[in-house]
Structure 1
Amino acid sequence: MESKKEHFKRTLLDLSERKDLVPGIYNYCDRWCERCTMTQRCLTYLHEQEVKPDAEPLNPDEKNKNFWEQIRLAWEVTLEMLEEDADEKGIDLDEVAAFQMPEHVETPLEIRARNYGTDIHNWLKQHQQFFETKAEQLVTINDEASMIKYQDAMEVIQWYGFFIGAKVHRAHLELKNRQNNPDDEFGLYADNLGSAKIAIIAIGRTMDALSVFYSAFKEMEDDILKFLLELSQIKKQLLKTFPGVMEFKRPGFDD
């Protein structure tokens, strides 16, 4: 009988042979699979569907156990495949010099983007009762259209809250060296551009969602305007730091 590890690896290798999948499409997406229109061309999504349990456990402890099991399997299979590739190429991994990641000093923009995530998270938590009351009022008057609109806006704001900071951080890793490397034979700077672009896209979507609340909830105008201005400034600085970033083609999405 096939073990979990063998199943994990076999399904991954089988899917990687499919010609209809877009290579690297998962590198610069927003990881919001439930809202994605490209899941059937994404190796990561399809593999996750293959290896997830047939029935999702209701017990939160079991859910967490499954989560960490998938992390462990991914790590073990990745190491095994690296060792196999190294053997094929005649590389002794034990003799490979240890690689040290260069120290990264966060830029003011990274700190600003991360702080936005913390601030919007705390703000939503602080005003949770307000939004719940508004939702109850919409249910009372049977205004389903407005309820769906505000619920969608809330989901967008929540989804991208910390995501923006994470991608802004990734976009700045080794930035100066990569921007000033005319050779860049491995295309490393593309990772900075792709990360910056999805951060800008996430900012745009968040600003649209916040604008929905800004128009509807007059008592929240000052707070929402503050977040809109903050996101606008972060976006402006990203566009300045990464010239031509919006021309970068994300695999599958911008082709």
Structure 2
Amino acid sequence: MESKKEHYKRALLDLSNRKDLIPGIYNYCDRWCERCTMTQKCLTYLHEQEVKAESDSMNPDEANKNFWDQIRMAWEVTLEMLEEDADERGIDLSDVPDIELPKHVETPLEVRSRDYGTNIHNWMKDNQQFFAAKAEQLVTINDEASMIKYQDAMEVIQWYGPFIGAKVHRSHLELEQRQNNPDDEFNLYADNLGSAKIAIIAIQRSMDALSVYYSAFKEMEDEILKFLLELSQIKKQMLSTFPGVMDFKRPGFDD
């Protein structure tokens, strides 16, 4: 009988061999699967759905245990597949020299982007009662269209708040070395560009969502304008730091 780990690995390998999936599409997406139009082309999404389907049939205790089992299996299967690939290539992993990775020092832009996520989260939390009162007014007058518009804007702002800082940070990892390496054999700089591009997309979507609130809630104009200005400046600096970044082709999304 197939063990859980064997099933996990087989399911992953079966998906990886499907010709209709787009390789690497999950590398530079925004991880917002519920709003994505490419889920059926994504190995990560389909594999996660299979795992989720197993948990949905369990009671809460079993589901929680299954969650931690999946985390452990993901690690074990990844190591096994790395070892198998190394064997095929004649690489002895026990004889790989230690590599000292350079310590990353955060740039002011990374700090600024992370601070935006913290500040927008706190602002949304501090104004929960205000937004609830506005929603109640819309229910009273049966303005469903406005309710959906403001709810969508809120979800966008909340989703991308922490995401922007994370992707700006990733885009800066080993940035100087990669930008100045003319012999980038493994095209490592592509990861910086892909991360930077999705960060910029997230910034623009956040600005669009905040603009919905800016035009609707006059009593919050000054606060919202500060967030818009902050995002605009972060975006401008990202475009300056990564010349030509918007020409980068993310698999599946920009082809």
Q: In which range does the TM-score fall when normalised by the shorter chain?
A: over 0.9
More deviation, 109-118/92-101: 92-101
Q: Tell me if the contact between 1:86 and 1:92 (Cα under 8 Å) persists in the aligned partners.
A: yes
Q: Are 2:177 and 1:177 aligned?
A: yes
Among all aligned residue pairs of Structure 1 and Structure 2, give the percentage whose two residues are the same amino acid: 83
* C-alpha distance in 1 between matches for 2:12 and 2:168: 30
2:163 aligns with: 163
2:35 aligns with: 35
Q: Taking structure 1 as reference, are residues 219 and 29 closer, same or farther at Cα in structure 2, changes over 3 Å only?
A: same
2:45 aligns with: 45
Q: Taking structure 1 as reference, are residues 205 and 59 closer, same or farther at Cα in structure 2, changes over 3 Å only?
A: farther
2:153 aligns with: 153
More deviation, 77-86/237-246: 77-86
Structure 2 unmatched ranges of 5 or more: none
1:166-205 CA distances to partner (integer Å, 9 max, x unpaired)? 0000000000010011110100000000000000000000
Give the 5 Å matches for 1:83-122: 83-122=83-122
2:67 aligns with: 67
Count residues in correspondence: 255
More deviation, 56-65/96-105: 56-65
Give the aligned residue type for 2:228. L
1:56 aligns with: 56
Task: Give the alignment's Cα RMSD to 1 decimal.
Answer: 1.6
Q: Taking structure 1 as reference, are residues 135 and 239 closer, same or farther at Cα in structure 2, changes over 3 Å only?
A: same
1:197-243 CA distances to partner (integer Å, 9 max, x unpaired)? 00000000000000001111111111100000000000000000000
Offset of residue 60 of structure 1: 6.6
Offset of residue 59 of structure 1: 7.2
- The TM-score normalised by the length of structure 2 is 0.95
What secondary structure, in the 3-state scheme, does the structure 1 residue paired with 2:169 have?
helix
Q: Tell me if the contact between 1:7 and 1:51 (Cα under 8 Å) persists in the aligned partners.
A: no
Q: Taking structure 1 as reference, are residues 90 and 58 closer, same or farther at Cα in structure 2, changes over 3 Å only?
A: closer
1:29-73 CA distances to partner (integer Å, 9 max, x unpaired)? 000000001111111111111222345379776655443332222
- The TM-score normalised by the length of structure 1 is 0.95
Q: Taking structure 1 as reference, are residues 126 and 103 closer, same or farther at Cα in structure 2, changes over 3 Å only?
A: same
* C-alpha distance in 1 between matches for 2:197 and 2:84: 34
Give the aligned residue type for 2:8. F
More deviation, 233-242/79-88: 79-88
- In the TM superposition, structure 1's runs of 4+ consecutive aligned residues that sit over 6 Å from their partners are 57-61
* C-alpha distance in 2 between matches for 1:153 and 1:248: 27
